[in-house]
């Protein structure tokens, strides 16, 4: 009896050890990576995520400002990566602050190869003269995966100028790829380049928004744009106006600040090469401030400042725009950066401020992207503060944006501020958006893939490895 008891105890101890080991193996984390730095994600650099054949591919700015890519298989629940996709010229000089303009933009071509554009903030003096603007830092870089659907190995291509920043990539139904970006620092044109061979070569840049010196003020006209595939052969473009003052940052909007105004909209027909406003009037490129104000203005914000967001179409093909509007957004003493919804009803631009009120309380910053399910159904995914908690949740409207009600929360973390991407186009409901948690005093950022059921989980043992 004594031998049997000892044996039973040994078996129990062995099984207990196995159970504890298994528990450790299945411990899960809400974030899939913990090595992002700075402001590692943004709405403007997009797409940052891609969904294809049951797999979501995600990207972010990682150590030394290099681009990192990971993937999640929704059927097997398997994560791969993150893998470093390239090496940025930025982030290697310890005397410089993190630049944050070189965040990755990602696109998959029709052959399954994954392209990443990153690393640029206008180019540097040793790159030579920028023919379409000025320079600042970094080098715009294009890399592609060595094999289709494989994020583990990459090669750099010499296809685009070094001067770009704010990359945005669009693939059309026929496989053509369009890369949009600002061709340099603040005082530069916005351009696009076209590829008809799956991104292996690109045509020369074409300016579509013109920077130019003002005659009435000590400033230069500049822009911030956001592009997306529209209906059929069209690309839709939303943008705001940046008045780039001479000199260093000062008071009353003078000197270099983030001052921007208004919201604009136009379309690009890639089949016949024409650009048009919402009234279907043809526009000549590049668009100047005078033409923008006269032909493409959707919302005149007056003295209020803006921070432009995304643009999407409803089922009728009518555009909806999101922009943040507030007072002196570049200053700590300024007003809140509140999300405003703007839509075209077929005859007029309608400005809906109701989404501002949705953000729990007045005088609160909000930021995010939105989906248009029908002309009347609009759903924002916004980040905001609820006391000390950083929250990301849905805000839904069933009356074309006149009113918004708080919907499901996707994530909530104490003390957090959030960096968000745009919503992953045609993505899996479990993987709507990539977000990074910014905690005061922490150098690294945790990165999450969130969807309608909250964060997509990963084995803790895999995070950081």
The residue with tokens 């005397």 is 95
- Does the pLDDT of residue 15 top 70, yes or no? no
- Greater confidence (282 vs 332) lies with 282
For the question of residue 166 being annotated catalytic, the response is yes
- Catalytic site includes residue 318: no
């921070």: which residue's tokens? 307
Give the span between the Cα atoms of 415 and 389, in whole angstroms. 5
User: Which band of pLDDT confidence, cut at 50, 70 and 90, is reported for residue 248?
Assistant: confident
153 domain residue, yes or no: no
Q: Is residue 406 part of a domain?
A: yes
| Alpha-carbon gap, residue 387 to 368, rounded angstroms | 19
Q: Which residue has the higher pLDDT, 232 or 248?
A: 232
How far apart CA 258 and CA 337 sit, in angstroms, is 13
Taking residues 149-154, report their average pLDDT.
98
Summarised one tens digit per residue, pLDDT across range 4-14 is 444 444 444 44
399: β partners = none
Whether 235 is in a domain gets the answer yes
- The percentage of the chain sitting over the pLDDT mark of 70, rounded to a whole number, equals 89
- 3-state helix/strand/coil string of the chain: CHHHHHHHHHHHHHHHHHHHHHHHHHCEECCCEEEEECCCCCCCCECCEEEECCEEEEEEECHHHCEEEEEEECCCCEEEEEEECCCCCCCCCCCCCCCCCCCCEEEECCCCCEEEEEEEEECCHHHCCCCCCCCCEEEEEEEEECCCCCCCCEEEECCCCCCCEEEEEEECCCCCEEEEEECCCCCCCEEEEEECCCCCCCCCCEEEECCEECCCCCEEEEEEEEEEECCCCEEEEEEEEEEEECCCCCCCCCCCCCCEEEEEEEEEECCCCEEECCCCCEECCCECHHHHHHHHEEECCCCCEEEEEEEEECCCCCEEEEEEEECCCCCCCCCCCEEEEEEECCCCEEEECHHHHHCCCCCCCCEEEEEECCCCCEEEEEEEEECCEEEEEEEEECCCCCCCEEEEEEEEEECCEEEECCCCCCCCCCCCEEEEEECCCCCEEEEEEEECCEECCEECCCCCC
Measured in degrees and rounded to the nearest 5, phi and psi for residue 355 equal: -65, -25
What integer pLDDT is reported at residue 191 of this predicted model? Answer: 98
Q: Which domain holds residue 408?
A: 217-423
Total of domains in the chain: 1
Question: How far is it, in rounded angstroms, from Cα 151 to Cα 147?
Answer: 8
Does any domain span residue 402? Answer: yes
C-alpha Rg value of the chain to the nearest Å = 24
The residue ranking higher by pLDDT, 10 or 281, is: 281
> Do strands 444-451 and 33-37 pair parallel, antiparallel, or not at all (unpaired)?
antiparallel
Q: What is the pLDDT of residue 336?
A: 65
By residue count, the chain amounts to 465
Is residue 65 assigned to a domain? no
Burial per residue of 251-261, b for 16 or more beta-carbon CB atoms within 10 angstroms, e otherwise: eebbeebbbbb
pLDDT value for 327 = 77
pLDDT band of residue 256 (cuts 50, 70, 90) is: confident
User: Which pLDDT does position 385 carry in this prediction?
Assistant: 87
440 lies in some domain? no
Residue 438 lies inside a defined structural domain of this protein: no
Residue 451 within any structural domain of the chain:
no
Give pLDDT tens digits for 167-208.
999 999 999 999 999 999 999 999 999 999 999 999 999 999
Q: Which of 46-50, 132-136, 138-142, 385-389 has the lowest average pLDDT? A: 385-389
Which of 51, 137, 166, 192 does the annotation list as catalytic? 166
Whether 349 contacts 401, CB under 8 Å = no
User: CA–CA separation, 325 vs 366, rounded Å?
Assistant: 10
- Residue 333's pLDDT band (cuts 50, 70, 90): very low
Mean pLDDT across the chain: 91
Could you identify the residue written with the tokens 């003295």? Answer: 303
pLDDT at 94 over 70: yes
């Amino acid at each position: 009896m004594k031998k049997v008891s000892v044996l039973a105890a040994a078996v129990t101890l062995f099984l207990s050890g196995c159970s504890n080991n298994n528990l450790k193996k299945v411990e899960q984390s809400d974030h899939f990576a913990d090595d992002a730095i700075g402001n590692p994600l943004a709405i403007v650099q997009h797409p940052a995520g891609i969904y294809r054949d049951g797999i979501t591919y995600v990207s972010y700015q990682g150590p030394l400002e290099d681009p990192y890519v990971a993937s999640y298989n929704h059927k097997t629940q398997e994560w791969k990566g993150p893998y470093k996709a390239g090496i940025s010229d930025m982030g290697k000089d310890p005397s410089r602050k993190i630049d944050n303009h070189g965040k990755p933009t990602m696109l998959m071509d029709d052959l399954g190869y994954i392209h990443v554009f990153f690393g640029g903030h206008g180019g540097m003096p040793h790159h030579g003269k920028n023919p379409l603007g000025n320079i600042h830092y970094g080098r715009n870089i294009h890399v592609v995966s060595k094999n289709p659907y494989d994020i583990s190995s990459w090669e750099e291509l010499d296809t685009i100028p070094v001067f770009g920043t704010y990359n945005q990539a669009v693939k059309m139904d026929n496989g053509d790829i369009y890369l949009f970006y600002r061709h340099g620092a603040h005082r530069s044109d916005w351009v696009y380049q076209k590829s008809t061979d799956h991104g292996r070569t690109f045509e020369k840049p074409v300016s579509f928004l013109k920077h130019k010196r003002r005659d009435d003020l000590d400033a230069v006209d500049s822009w911030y744009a956001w592009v997306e595939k529209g209906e059929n052969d069209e690309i839709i473009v939303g943008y705001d106006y940046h008045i780039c003052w001479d000199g260093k940052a000062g008071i009353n909007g003078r000197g270099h600040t983030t001052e921007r105004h208004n919201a604009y909209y136009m379309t690009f027909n890639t089949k016949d090469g024409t650009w048009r406003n919402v009234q279907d009037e043809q526009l000549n490129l590049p668009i100047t401030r005078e033409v923008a104000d006269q032909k493409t203005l959707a919302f005149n914000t007056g003295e209020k400042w803006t921070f432009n967001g995304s643009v999407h179409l409803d089922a009728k093909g009518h555009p909806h725009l999101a922009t943040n509007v507030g007072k002196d957004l570049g200053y700590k003493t300024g007003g809140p950066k509140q999300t405003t919804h703007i839509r075209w009803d077929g005859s007029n631009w309608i400005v809906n401020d109701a989404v501002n009120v949705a953000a729990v309380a007045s005088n609160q910053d909000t930021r995010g992207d939105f989906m248009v399910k029908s002309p009347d159904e609009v759903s924002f995914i916004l980040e905001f503060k609820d006391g000390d908690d950083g929250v990301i949740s849905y805000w839904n409207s069933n009356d074309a944006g006149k009113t918004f009600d708080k919907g499901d929360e996707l994530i909530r973390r104490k003390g957090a501020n959030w960096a968000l991407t745009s919503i992953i186009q045609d993505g899996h409901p479990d993987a709507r958006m990539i977000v990074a948690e910014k905690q005061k005093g922490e150098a690294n950022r945790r990165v999450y893939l969130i969807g309608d059921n909250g964060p997509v989980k990963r084995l803790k043992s895999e995070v950081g490895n």
